[in-house]
Amino acid sequence: MIQDLEALYQDLHAHPELSFEEHRTAAEVSRRARDLGYETTEGVGRTGVVARLASGRGPTVLLRADFDALPVTERTGLPYASRNEGVMHACGHDVHVTCLLGTMALLARARDRWSGTVLAVFQPAEELGRGARAMVDDGLYARFGTPVVVLGQHVMAIPAGTVACHPGLAFAATDALKVRMFGRGAHASMPEAAIDPVVMAAATVMRLQTVVSREIASMDRAVVTVGALRAGTKDNIIPDEAELQLNIRTYTPEVRETVLGAVERIVRGEAVAAGAQQEPEISTLHTFPPMVNDEDACVRTLAAIGEVIGHERLTDPGASSGSEDVGVFGTSANVPVCYWLLGGVDPDVHAEAEAAGTRNRDIPQNHSPFFAPVMRPTLTDGVTALTSAALAWLEPAPRPASP
């Protein structure tokens, strides 16, 4: 089975597709799901796929994998590196799809062992924070049934062979903002005739660094990142405007309100200080709600995973500053979610970097152009964890009556 999983993973990795453009991926997932005997529907939430397999009476269990890629140019040098210029599976969603299809195969072959319904959900546009909501709004539960639990996993730059899960508030809320700052263009030789938006934007970037360090209490957590700054076209032209893109991570509504208020105050204040004659524009690109793992669901799920892979391989990583929209599936149906992290880094390489104190430098993280999970044991562990979790929530198949 491992050779089939690796071949599938390499194919998915070589053909990444951006959010809501996952047409090839969706077609491949659908073909494989139908071959396994699943009732399969495409186009749910635009490009999502839902595969359903029933085996007698029992609970419905939702297994989720996201399948969009990122606008990143791959630099791994792998023989199966992305063939789509400027697009890469830099967040490991190809691992998620491979593991879910592997679990679907095992469950299909073992229908005599369980009773209930498996609802495999392949979600688009997780990177935009809109895919889960799109599928729910497209009648996911009315069309395919409401689950008793939502289960899923995310490969991360932690040692392969480990499964990490934090009960409670597990992933941060995200607000992604676009800021346009307006100046007055002029020739570079005559700055006195201009209101320079480049300087305005640069001052804003530096001032934004004080939001967390000076306005958030030390026991609270928040992240403010300026991920993009665009202005100008040529060295001897002072442009008319500059654009910033911000990514903000928070864990509580109170801290979120404080951070968003500070960002707006700083942006508008720097514009005033620069003498801008037009107010800045601040708009929302996308948002993610915080993701909360149900504590009881985690106990039940992790007990089952630990029984198979070994309880010593389970860890609690604490709350992550990453964001995930998988929680939308749970809150929309008022059912628990258990979502865990799957190790994807060679354990020896990870241990070496930890010992040298160079983990952040030497271990490429998600969204890096060098991010490349090792296939073994990542894929088999992912299938094992997801299959064990599903069986923990499905009912055992009824025993045949004695003659």
pLDDT in tens, 144-179: 999 999 999 999 999 999 999 999 999 999 999 999
CB 73 within 8 A of CB 369: yes
pLDDT at 402 over 70: no
pLDDT tens digits for range 273-307: 999 999 999 999 999 999 999 999 999 999 999 99
**Confidence tier at 399 by pLDDT (50, 70, 90):** confident
Distance CA 96, CA 391 (A): 18
pLDDT tens digits for range 293-349: 999 999 999 999 999 999 999 999 999 999 999 999 999 999 999 999 999 999 999
CB 58 within 8 A of CB 400: no
Pick from 46, 40, 41: nearest CA to 21: 46
Instruction: Write 210-218 long-range contacts (CB < 8 A, 24+).
Output: 211/259, 211/262, 211/263, 211/266, 212/259, 215/258, 215/259, 215/262, 216/255, 216/258, 216/259
DSSP 8-state code for residue 358:
-
pLDDT at 164 (0 to 100): 98
Domains for the chain: give ranges and CATH numbers. Answer: 2-171+290-396 (3.40.630.10), 173-288 (3.30.70.360)
pLDDT at 401 over 70: no
Pick from 55, 73, 43: nearest CA to 370: 73
- In the annotated binding site for Mn(2+), the residues are 91, 93, 127, 154, 367
pLDDT at 265 over 70: yes
The three-state secondary structure class of 332 is: helix
Chain centroid to CA 97: how far?
13
- Burial class of residue 179, CB neighbours in 10 A (0-12, 13-18, 19+): buried
pLDDT tens digits for range 174-232: 999 999 999 999 999 999 999 999 999 999 999 999 999 999 999 999 999 999 999 99
Which pTM does this prediction carry?
Answer: 0.93
- In the annotated binding site, the residues are 91, 93, 127, 154, 367
**Confidence tier at 244 by pLDDT (50, 70, 90):** very high
Tokens read off for 128: 């935009």
